Structure 1
Amino acid sequence: MTTVKTKTPLFTSKRSTKLFIPIPSTAERGVTICGVLEQLAPGESTQGRKVALILHGNMGHKDYLFQKRLGLSFPIDSFRFDFRGCHESTGTAQFYGFTDAIEDLAAVEAYLSSQYGYEVDIIVAHSMGVASALKWVCTSDAGKHIRGVVNISGRYRMRKAYDFVIPAGWEEMKTRGYTFMKGTVAGKPVKVRMTEAELERFASFDLDFIKTEFPSHIDVLTLQGLRDAIVPPYDAILYAQALGGRHPGTHSLCYMEDADHNFTGPTTEVINTILDWHDLVNHHRLTTGIWQTGIRGKFAQLRRGVRVVALELKSDHRPHGNMKFSNLASTHLEPLRSPFPPELVDRIIDNLHSDKKSLKACSMVARQWLNASQYHLFERTTVHANESAGFSRFHEDLLDSSRGMRFYIRELDLSGVVDTAGEPTMLCKHVLSGILHRLPRLRELDLTHVGLGPCRSCVFRNFISRPINLDYLSLSVGSRSDGLYAYVGLLKLFGDIKHLDVPFLGWNSPDPLPWARPDELRKKLLELQGPPSQLRVHSFRGTASKIDCLLQVLCLTRSVEVMSSLEVGFLEEDVQIQALGTLIRKLGPTLSRLHVNMTGNFGGTLNPLDYRCLHLRSCNNLSDLVLSLDLYGNPDRLLGLSVAEECTGLLDALSTISGHRAMRYITIHIFVNLQLDESFAEAVYSRMTWHRLEKVLRSFPGLKKARIVLLEHIEYHSTFQAIVVDNLRTLAELGLLEVQPAVETEWPALW
């Protein structure tokens, strides 16, 4: 039976799951493989998702050297595990373990495929794990469909292993028939029995099969340290000769001058090189040859064989917390080793996640501390730009030149400024697309005070972008020169969005709109490359004025298939109510949470508003309803305006779903505006039709709680509570009524 233990790492949204995978088809009974599955989006389906496998070498384990940090840094899900007999995996470790390792690898792939639906995409292997990985790739159906292999310190000439047996070992094998290889694994002393026959079997393992059997489409990266005292550095040349003549697959050879067999010291460089190579695999930009042949950058400098990247940020795009990246990245870092194990270092730095000053200091301690510090330093990055060129420089100078920072950014805030004429900083969609596609781990994006106009160089350029999926997207964008099509072009950049927040739209929309129905809007958009039909918004919050056009655009996207939470404010015209009603009708049973901010029964033109157009009856699964109501009164003493009618819009909306069986929670936010000549009690009594409200609320058979919240004049809360309880007495007696002052309500629950 497989045992699964789940643990969420500190201060990250990823999930680490420890898996125990039994090996049923082995001659040795009771073998169980232990590994850790790192998931970027644990709440989403894994069917068909790509996964990277990370393999350790002889006398290693799953968290050894760079393996754990690489797993946490990979832009796709990853799984690292202990081969049998190593660390937490049961069974017996053997010196000649190729057959067992291949069997372990096959069992891991079969388990991830059958239980999760994963497809192996990349294999990263170290030392002896390289030979096992290559053999599995050439002999298995799943292995022949992967896209890449990273070979780290892999041995090619197995007979060279004879050179590393010390004379005492030969003497012991002749006298006793065997000797022991001794080492330390995860802080515990370990010894592996080795006989002369096993050594001969190891030396006879011939890797020349990769010249004819290795799939031609797979890209390979070979990393080799020039100070490797275990595997001759020349073996990397032999791998390049064997794999470099394939097409369309490539082979990239990367030597590191001061690196040993385990790459002690330049761990960060190893991780960044692998991530850069993986990014080039995704973009099909690899060529066979020496790694980074022909690449020249004013930001890169070699120090003791390790590349250190200097990031030169201008004053017009300052990072979050006023940190100076140039000082951090360009400072000379000695290749010191930390006296602490990597697990302890990660735990220490995790607890400093919000202390930027301490994290910066930690990054200077040793190279082993740098990667963990960068994870938190760059997790949230804010870029301020006074002009559009600032965003372009951020893309070109920072992202294109950085060797590692872009892999740590999960939350990005692109913020402009509003000039004296009221115009925000312009952000071209080509530049924005380039930035987003260079951040493989980005989950949250906040655009503030930016216009959507094109730059001079891209007015006539065709625009085709791969949609970006995000957990959170906030848009406070637009200028007077931006039209609806600019916003549609922006939305075309995105695919699956968990939460979309639109607090401000600065676009110049005609009033009234020339199109009032989605079919008319679709016709208009088809004239200019069509609507953003790929967009899937799961939860939407729009409090910007003139939100009706955006609601109509959402009707033309795949959001109508998945949107479950919807919050809309500033409904001041019938056309806005109708646009919201159209979206609600299209959502139908998908919608379960709704928050509508009403402005009473009269709009800005004092015309009656018909909230019955919301079509709430079409939402069969609507269970949470929040309605915000302004009891503004009649301060200007306008003839024909009855303050008692201010609540009728809310009551009309509720009446359309009277008796709705799925309704569980109803919250009514009330704002009361006091006139000079009236008391608070008079205002509340005169502007609400309490008996009708009670009748509607009692009609919901499954209602669990009705909350009435006072938004202003908290000093009158006791009076307000007494009035509400007195008028809704039946609900109070049933325990369904709750009266509260204004609090920071979380709506929807996932925000």
Structure 2
Amino acid sequence: MPARLTLPAELIDETIDHLWDDSKALRACSLTCRGWVPSSRLHLFRTIRIRNAEDCASLIALVNSAPVIARCIRKLTLSAEYDGLDGDRGREDDAWVNKAADLLTRLDRVHTLALSRLRWDALTPETKQAFSGAFKTVQTLLLFEVRFNASADVLGFLSEFPALDELYFHGVSWTHESYNPFPAQWQMGSPEQMQLSYLFLDPRSSPTLVTEWLLNHPVEQRLRTIQLCWREMEDVKALGDLLQVSGSTLERLQIEFPSGLSEEVLRRNQLSISNNTNLRSLHFGGLDVSAASSRTFVSNQLFPWVGVMLGQVRSPLLQEVVFELELPDVPDLQSFDWVRIDQELSREEFRGLMVRFYVNCTERHGGQALVDQVKQAIEDKLPGFRVRGLLRVSCI
């Protein structure tokens, strides 16, 4: 009788882990051997997306039949769809979310939560309470087109995540501005306080509300990555304060300002990255020449804040600087203060720096000839930097 071969449990787990995104193979593994079921099941149900009432009912039935599945769910997305229009905005088909309340009370290991196209104020108190229990373990929160009644509701919601590490804020809106939006429980000294390291704010959300919330938080937030689009032209003080308190913790900054933001506004609001002495990546986005050229500027050059911020860099660890351009044609490159940009990038402490330009050439009929012209023009405008660093230009 042949000897029975027994594989080490570690080898089995590693093999199944390798199949983490192959649902067909994982189902086959779970049917092959009873001992393979736990690892296979964890990967099969690790990421769950609920889009409508049918998805919700199916998952509830599945968890009722095998309660252990609830403990496998680590990434949960509730994404409603639009069902027509209310005036000039979409009407969310999100009534089914209330049916998930009982399910939510059983999810105690979710570390990533994504909510899309939901009206938080339309949920029942029971559903909100069920969500609150699931929030305790969430480390990454993604909000996309979620609506609230008032700004205080937004901050009260965000304050329910004691373990939050990453926040993505896309198109979040509210109907009313609260007189004092900051959560009342801050006065009570909660024993569990979040420590955020990653912040993403898109242009359709008010960056000021979230930024001031972080600045007023009982626990000082020292962000490692900030990625945002700031639209308040005359008021960037909150952002300047956030960069200041992030200090040497901040490693990656991706920033986009409205066209026409002047040097004077930056100086008046004391916006500076000189205190971010461990900055490794600096990314300038939204440099749309076609949109900016139609406006009136304090400076003769477009985007003067780019040169100002480059001059503020004091980090010896800077590895890359990225520029994202929207460019109608090659002559429009003259709109930038290339002398200042080249001067700042050519500093001796930046030797070996990688500088990347991602250029969206809006003139579609130029073909490869236009691409070559753009690359050559940018290279010619940075003569000092080219002898000290690495320059890459990509047309997308």
TM tier, smaller = 0.7 to 0.9
Structure 2 CA distance for aligned equivalents of residues 465 and 727 of structure 1:
56
Opposite residue 468 of structure 1, the aligned amino acid is K
- In 2 relative to 1, CA 558–592 (structure 1 residues): closer, same or farther, beyond 3 Å? farther
Matched with 2:385 is 731
The Cα offsets for residues 319-349 of structure 1, whole Å up to 9 and x where unpaired, read as xxxxxxxxxxxxxxxxxxx986574654554
The Cα offsets for residues 560-590 of structure 1, whole Å up to 9 and x where unpaired, read as 4432111112x22235633322222222232
Matched with 2:393 is 740
Deviation at 1:712, TM superposition (A): 0.4
Matched with 2:364 is none
Deviation at 1:530, TM superposition (A): 4.5
Matched with 2:194 is 535
Structure 1 residue 696 and structure 2 residue 355: aligned? no
Opposite residue 249 of structure 2, the aligned amino acid is T
Structure 1 residue 649 and structure 2 residue 305: aligned? yes
Q: 1:438 aligns with which of 103, 106, 112?
A: 106
Structure 1 CA distance for aligned equivalents of residues 94 and 78 of structure 2:
11
- In 2 relative to 1, CA 624–508 (structure 1 residues): closer, same or farther, beyond 3 Å? same
Deviation at 1:741, TM superposition (A): 0.7
Select the structure of larger CA radius of gyration: 1
Structure 1 residue 620 and structure 2 residue 277: aligned? yes
Deviation at 1:428, TM superposition (A): 11
- In 2 relative to 1, CA 577–456 (structure 1 residues): closer, same or farther, beyond 3 Å? same
Identity, in percent, stands at 18
Deviation at 1:629, TM superposition (A): 4.2
Q: 1:424 aligns with which of 92, 96, 101?
A: 92
Q: 2:322 aligns with which of 657, 668, 675?
A: 668
Matches within 5 A, 1:297-376: 341=7, 343=9, 346=13, 349-376=16-43
- In 2 relative to 1, CA 720–557 (structure 1 residues): closer, same or farther, beyond 3 Å? same
Preserved contact between residue 416 and residue 448 of structure 1 (Cα < 8 Å): yes
The Cα offsets for residues 357-393 of structure 1, whole Å up to 9 and x where unpaired, read as 3433443345334333212211211112359xx86x6
- In 2 relative to 1, CA 535–694 (structure 1 residues): closer, same or farther, beyond 3 Å? same
Preserved contact between residue 359 and residue 393 of structure 2 (Cα < 8 Å): no
Q: 1:493 aligns with which of 139, 142, 160?
A: 160
Structure 2 CA distance for aligned equivalents of residues 539 and 473 of structure 1:
10
Secondary structure (helix, strand or coil) at the match of 2:196 reads strand
Structure 1 residue 553 and structure 2 residue 220: aligned? no
Deviation at 1:490, TM superposition (A): 2.2
Matched with 2:241 is 582
- In 2 relative to 1, CA 473–466 (structure 1 residues): closer, same or farther, beyond 3 Å? closer
Structure 1 residue 718 and structure 2 residue 372: aligned? yes
Secondary structure (helix, strand or coil) at the match of 1:423 reads strand
Matched with 1:568 is 228
Structure 2 CA distance for aligned equivalents of residues 349 and 718 of structure 1:
47
Structure 1 CA distance for aligned equivalents of residues 239 and 96 of structure 2:
30
Preserved contact between residue 80 and residue 92 of structure 2 (Cα < 8 Å): yes
Preserved contact between residue 322 and residue 355 of structure 2 (Cα < 8 Å): yes
- In 2 relative to 1, CA 363–668 (structure 1 residues): closer, same or farther, beyond 3 Å? closer
Deviation at 1:707, TM superposition (A): 0.9
Higher helix share: 2
Secondary structure (helix, strand or coil) at the match of 1:363 reads helix
Matches within 5 A, 1:91-490: 341=7, 343=9, 346=13, 349-386=16-53, 399=63, 402-421=66-85, 422-426=90-94, 438-458=106-126, 468-479=136-147, 482-490=149-157
Structure 2 CA distance for aligned equivalents of residues 436 and 458 of structure 1:
11
Deviation at 1:692, TM superposition (A): 1.3
Preserved contact between residue 427 and residue 453 of structure 1 (Cα < 8 Å): no
Corresponding residue pairs, total: 378
Deviation at 1:483, TM superposition (A): 2.0
Preserved contact between residue 76 and residue 112 of structure 2 (Cα < 8 Å): yes
Structure 1 CA distance for aligned equivalents of residues 166 and 51 of structure 2:
23
Opposite residue 207 of structure 2, the aligned amino acid is I
Deviation at 1:413, TM superposition (A): 1.6
Deviation at 1:402, TM superposition (A): 3.5
Deviation at 1:548, TM superposition (A): 2.0
Matched with 1:611 is 266
- In 2 relative to 1, CA 650–386 (structure 1 residues): closer, same or farther, beyond 3 Å? farther
Structure 2 CA distance for aligned equivalents of residues 448 and 400 of structure 1:
25
Preserved contact between residue 342 and residue 368 of structure 1 (Cα < 8 Å): no
Structure 1 CA distance for aligned equivalents of residues 154 and 213 of structure 2:
10
Deviation at 1:709, TM superposition (A): 0.8
Deviation at 1:447, TM superposition (A): 1.7
Secondary structure (helix, strand or coil) at the match of 2:164 reads strand
- In 2 relative to 1, CA 732–559 (structure 1 residues): closer, same or farther, beyond 3 Å? farther
RMSD: 4.0
Deviation at 1:476, TM superposition (A): 1.0
- In 2 relative to 1, CA 418–575 (structure 1 residues): closer, same or farther, beyond 3 Å? farther
- In 2 relative to 1, CA 423–700 (structure 1 residues): closer, same or farther, beyond 3 Å? farther
Deviation at 1:484, TM superposition (A): 1.5
Deviation at 1:489, TM superposition (A): 2.7
Structure 2 CA distance for aligned equivalents of residues 461 and 403 of structure 1:
21
Normalising by structure 1, report the TM-score: 0.44
Structure 2 CA distance for aligned equivalents of residues 443 and 373 of structure 1:
19
- Higher relative contact order (Cα pairs below 8 Å, separated by 6+ residues): 2
Preserved contact between residue 200 and residue 228 of structure 2 (Cα < 8 Å): yes
Matched with 1:601 is 260
Matched with 1:682 is 331
- In 2 relative to 1, CA 539–726 (structure 1 residues): closer, same or farther, beyond 3 Å? same
- In 2 relative to 1, CA 741–530 (structure 1 residues): closer, same or farther, beyond 3 Å? same
- In 2 relative to 1, CA 447–647 (structure 1 residues): closer, same or farther, beyond 3 Å? same
Opposite residue 689 of structure 1, the aligned amino acid is D
- In 2 relative to 1, CA 373–627 (structure 1 residues): closer, same or farther, beyond 3 Å? same
- In 2 relative to 1, CA 707–427 (structure 1 residues): closer, same or farther, beyond 3 Å? farther
- In 2 relative to 1, CA 530–375 (structure 1 residues): closer, same or farther, beyond 3 Å? same
The Cα offsets for residues 487-513 of structure 1, whole Å up to 9 and x where unpaired, read as 223212212333222233133365xxx
